[in-house]
Structure 1
Amino acid sequence: MQKSKYIKLFPFLLLMSLSSGLLAQETQIVDKLNSIIKPINTLQPDSSFNDIDFLSGILMKKEIIALGEVTHGTREVYAYKERLIRYLVSNLNYKTIVFEADYNGLEKLDDYVNGKIDNTAMSPNYTSLLKWLRAFNKTKSEENKVHLYGVEIREFNSAIDHIFALYRDISQHDKDVLLKIRNTPFDKVDKEDLGKFRMVCTQLPENLQNKMLIQLIDNYYNFIGINSKLGARDRFMAENAIALKESTKDKKMIIWAHNGHVAKMSIDNTPAMGEFLEKRYGDRYYVIATDINKGYVSVRKFIAKNKPVSNWQSLYYPEVNSSRGYEYYFKQCKCKNFILDVDAAIIDNQLGSFLTQPKEMRMIGGLSIPVNKKLSIAKNFNMVVYFDETSSV
């Protein structure tokens, strides 16, 4: 009778034992994370850099610092990335900042921060940073001013306007081709007109901007939008970033882009921009990703397949309650917001295994989905800046 009871209890006891072991492992991981994380003391971009001055020893010899963002619509991420840029510019002499944005649009912002124009349209998310860069540049010689660049061309109209402004002797035939594209909605341009457009562009002087425009033409159907294929886009963004970097005097660059673009490995079954950059520059390419647990994020809500997405709106994402996600462990740490030096953490065998083994991580872009992607933090990012709760921009 006793043996029968024991047999019945065995699965329960085994389950209890396994659960106890898993809880102990979780506690060990959190304790070890606590021993290495550094608290984020402030989100104010203009505050003292004393709490992040440890970065100078880590970043001094890097050539590309990629600042990733877990979402495109999180206030805390924008504020902290601005703080990091101010630090890199002020303390480590970075003068080239490249954005996951339109080349022509950034040209106007560069004119603003360099005092060539006094006003231009700008997103409120970047206003504080742009005003600070403008004030910074006022005190610098021409060769020490900070410059901004977009790493892609995203639409035809501003590029065509730029062609008209630069090349006034263009033939009437070519003008007609460009004007037809200019006056056609972006998603209505047909293949025949696109071919004529490309022919005109190939006859323009060779430079990076014209190269970007031809890239956009060649990838018109899969370059941007909901159905974009990141592989084609990311490969060209990497090429453009390399060209921009090599054109600068000091060969140092900051890249502002989504975590998925700056990652060192494929996340969507196609190579990310960061994968190309890591192959070229090795450990001179350094990625600081951002991560969140819960909070409000500004996104365009996905309704259904073949349905239009919503306008930008604030959407709440609940906390991560599954041990399949990295954030499940991060939220248990002693600091609500912190910096994790991944390269230093993986020296410990247990943390190395934890950060290398693929788990889910927040990966929200401009759309409300997907929310998470399975990846290895250690294989993609050198450092993670974590926020437990966020607000939307």
Structure 2
Amino acid sequence: MPKDDDRAVQALAENARPLGSAPSDLDGLLAAVEGADFVLLGEATHGTHEFYQLRCTITRRLVEEQGFDAVAVEADWPDAQRLNRFVRGISEEHPREAFSDFQRFPTWMWRNTDVLALVEWMRGHNDGRGGAAVGFYGIDLYSLYRSAEAVTEYLARSDPEAAERARRAYACLDHVREPQEYGFEAARGMRPDCGEAVRGLFERLEQERPHATGTGWSAADEYFHAEMNARLVANAERYYRSMYSRRGNTWNLRDEHMTDTVLALRDHLRATGRRGRVVVWAHNSHLGDARATEMGRQGEWNVGQLLRERAGTAAVYSVGFTTHTGHVTAAEDWGEPALHRWVRPSRPDSWEHLLHRTGLPAFWLPTAKVPAEVIGEERLERAIGVIYRPDTERQSHYFGASLGRQFDSIIHVDETTAVEPFDITEHWEQREAPETWPTGL
């Protein structure tokens, strides 16, 4: 290894705060986020148990000790709303039943035992708290048709005339009932453009929002639920149409939607007498500032960047999560079964390998404490989503990033285990062993 890397490893090790089993190990991190309105908790994969477990622990403490009142996750709004009703005490169904609306691939992202433990804790914490209850919300935008149905169902109960306007606005979406097929046909002029109609409906709901009163589950919450679904339909329609348009940047559309949703959630909570402090769970690639990465140079932005720009840097604290090796729940391709995959050791020219060389099994690292010439340089960083392709790992899963400008803190767990899905299949039970690593790079 180059001598410069030896000095970098020493600087990282000197500033690392080891994480063991003591609750006090995270006291420094909790002190660092004091005063932030948004705490962003990332993950380097969408299927690592330790990432979920640590995010649960940090989230619980933020709720109990600092009064955070919302958990906003990389999931669709209507699916998360069912869980929100459960944790807020509105629904009396069995805890696992509250996850039933998570049917879209990849189900294991939310239908897993770690998230179950969190929402059961949230339900118990909320019992009897009324307006002080913490909620669970989705910020993604894939649920085009489910959200359209949610809007019309709400309006059918509250304003039949408005419900009829919604049905007319959404009518042109109903030809295929498959978002990507809709996007393909719309981008090629094979069907009427629904964009103006669905945006108009959202804007009308936004303008006619009633004055919020009360801090418990209220008419204002129900209206906000419909408004957020109408926002989602308008943005999802544009997103799917842009998938097949040379002018569209779907990454930017998606992350702008997620940012808008988080900010709207904060504003709604404050308007109804709550604090509006939000914990955000999403992938590192969404929550680390894109300006510090290869993504930014390619013209892409993300939630971490946009929140810093719109809410102010002092209002946002971002935590990235990394690992060197272990196991992960991931598929080989989109829509395929969840597998118990082995994560090959990180590349020698990556941040993960540098963090591995500290010799610490788990630690958190405040990046501002590390000399800028170490933490500010650009190295490769690994990103595994719901698909893991080790045979093309360099091209598929690594990108350049300056860790110090990307995150306020890093949590590194050197060897990790796979998150456990509710829906364990024979595919997942066949744990992939190290000797099955592909050889291609």
Q: TM-score range by the shorter chain?
A: 0.7 to 0.9
Is the 8 Å Cα contact of residues 141 and 254 (structure 2) preserved in structure 1?
Answer: no
Counterpart in 2 of 1:117?
91
Rate the CA distance shift 1:105–1:62 in 2: closer, same or farther, 3 A: same
Gaps of 5+ in 2: 100-110, 207-226, 390-395, 420-441
Deviation of 1:242 after TM superposition, in Å, equals 1.4
Is the 8 Å Cα contact of residues 96 and 148 (structure 1) preserved in structure 2?
Answer: yes
Deviation of 1:321 after TM superposition, in Å, equals 4.5
Counterpart in 1 of 2:358?
333
Is the 8 Å Cα contact of residues 148 and 233 (structure 2) preserved in structure 1?
Answer: no
The structure with the greater share of residues assigned to helix is 2
1:150 paired residue among 122, 125, 138: 138
2:237 paired residue among 211, 217, 237: 217
Task: Deviation per CA, 1:287-346: give whole Å up to 9, x if none.
Answer: 0010010111122224xxxxx663322221221241x2112221121421111111222x
Higher-Rg structure is 1
Counterpart in 2 of 1:164?
152
Rate the CA distance shift 1:75–1:167 in 2: closer, same or farther, 3 A: same
Aligned residue type for 1:288:
V
Name the CA distance, whole Å, in 1 between partners of 2:87 and 2:351: 38
Task: Deviation per CA, 1:237-259: give whole Å up to 9, x if none.
Answer: 11221111122222321111110
Name the CA distance, whole Å, in 2 between partners of 1:179 and 1:229: 21
Is the 8 Å Cα contact of residues 378 and 402 (structure 2) preserved in structure 1?
Answer: yes
Name the CA distance, whole Å, in 1 between partners of 2:325 and 2:262: 32
Range with bigger deviation, 257-266 or 169-178:
169-178
Is the 8 Å Cα contact of residues 148 and 229 (structure 2) preserved in structure 1?
Answer: no
Rate the CA distance shift 1:34–1:179 in 2: closer, same or farther, 3 A: same
- SS, match of residue 42 in structure 2: strand
Counterpart in 1 of 2:120?
131
Rate the CA distance shift 1:159–1:373 in 2: closer, same or farther, 3 A: same
Is the 8 Å Cα contact of residues 105 and 150 (structure 1) preserved in structure 2?
Answer: yes
- Structure 2 matches for 1:39-188, cutoff 5 A? 39-42=18-21, 49-119=23-93, 120-122=97-99, 123-124=111-112, 125-140=114-129, 142-168=130-156, 169=160, 170-171=163-164, 174=167, 178=171, 181=174, 184-188=177-181
The answer to whether structure 1 residue 233 and structure 2 residue 254 are counterparts is: yes
Q: TM-score, normalised by structure 1?
A: 0.82
Name the CA distance, whole Å, in 1 between partners of 2:175 and 2:19: 47
Gaps of 5+ in 1: 1-18, 43-47, 303-307
1:362 paired residue among 382, 401, 404: 382
- Structure 2 matches for 1:364-379, cutoff 5 A? 364-369=384-389, 370-379=396-405
Range with bigger deviation, 361-370 or 108-117:
361-370
Name the CA distance, whole Å, in 1 between partners of 2:180 and 2:335: 16
2:8 paired residue among 22, 26, 29: 29
Name the CA distance, whole Å, in 2 between partners of 1:148 and 1:198: 30
2:332 paired residue among 301, 324, 331: 301
- Structure 2 matches for 1:247-262, cutoff 5 A? 247-249=268-270, 250-262=275-287
Name the CA distance, whole Å, in 1 between partners of 2:79 and 2:324: 32
The answer to whether structure 1 residue 291 and structure 2 residue 279 are counterparts is: no
Deviation of 1:194 after TM superposition, in Å, equals 5.9
Task: Deviation per CA, 1:32-51: give whole Å up to 9, x if none.
Answer: 32222111113xxxxx6322
Counterpart in 2 of 1:11?
none
The answer to whether structure 1 residue 384 and structure 2 residue 372 are counterparts is: no
Range with bigger deviation, 110-119 or 155-164:
155-164
Name the CA distance, whole Å, in 2 between partners of 1:50 and 1:147: 26
CA-atom RMSD, angstroms? 2.6
Counterpart in 2 of 1:45?
none
Name the CA distance, whole Å, in 1 between partners of 2:289 and 2:347: 27
Range with bigger deviation, 214-223 or 188-197:
188-197
Name the CA distance, whole Å, in 2 between partners of 1:316 and 1:116: 40
